[in-house]
Amino acid sequence: MMNFTQLVLASHNAGKLKELQAMLGESVQLRSIGEFSSVEPDETGLSFVENAILKARNAARISGLPALADDSGLAVDFLGGAPGIYSARYADGQGDAANNAKLLDALKDVPDAERGAQFVCVLALVRHADDPLPIICEGLWHGRILPAASGQHGFGYDPLFWVPERNCSSAELSPTEKNQLSHRARAMVLLRQRLGLK
């Protein structure tokens, strides 16, 4: 078992920090990389795993602390797994609304049965920047892409992601419900087990 009292999160996203801190619990304090640097590393990996490790190593190097990184996105079956690692910048960095519009356009006239998708989350934890054995935990959340946005909560592709076990979109779930079902929650359950957290 590894004992971490503090981890630096390789993200400037306050929503992600809050979500992951809630899932980790109070025994580990999660600090934002924003406390140490405002520079984002180039995500040059070709997979969620590569990008998560790259971000974790960068955060550990800058902060001198063990680092946790999350690389996540949406993989749509009909699109061969796209937008995948490019989910956040699918519409050339124009934000969530543009990303959603581009996805709907790409799936125009595609029947419901072929609109399967999954949110993917890879968490990578490194003890230090050159850690030869990063801890990798993956979570998948299966659903499908709706023909139109629905719901007010969440961010990113949540309004388009149909959650079969709740019969609603991800954006119609309360934050508490989402934190129990999501890809990030599933990856975090595995990470908590690896860290020996109750």
pLDDT of residue 4: 81
pLDDT of residue 1: 46
Given the residues 70, 71, 105, 109, the one annotated as active site: 71
84 annotated among ligand-binding-site residues: no
102 annotated among ligand-binding-site residues: no
Q: 45, 51 in Cβ contact below 8 A?
A: yes
Q: Mean pLDDT, to the nearest integer, of 8-34?
A: 89
Structural domains of the chain ordered from first start: 6-195 (3.90.950.10)
42 annotated among ligand-binding-site residues: yes
pLDDT per residue over 96-126, tens digit each? 999 999 999 999 999 999 999 999 999 999 9
Query: Residue 19 pLDDT > 80, yes or no?
Result: yes
Q: Mean pLDDT, to the nearest integer, of 44-72?
A: 96
Active site residue 92: no
Q: 119, 169 in Cβ contact below 8 A?
A: no
pLDDT per residue over 62-88, tens digit each? 999 999 999 999 999 999 999 999 999
Q: pTM of the prediction?
A: 0.91
106 annotated among ligand-binding-site residues: no
Residue 182 to residues 12, 14, 107, 197: CA-CA distances in angstroms? 20, 18, 23, 19
Cis peptide before 147 (omega within 30 of 0): no
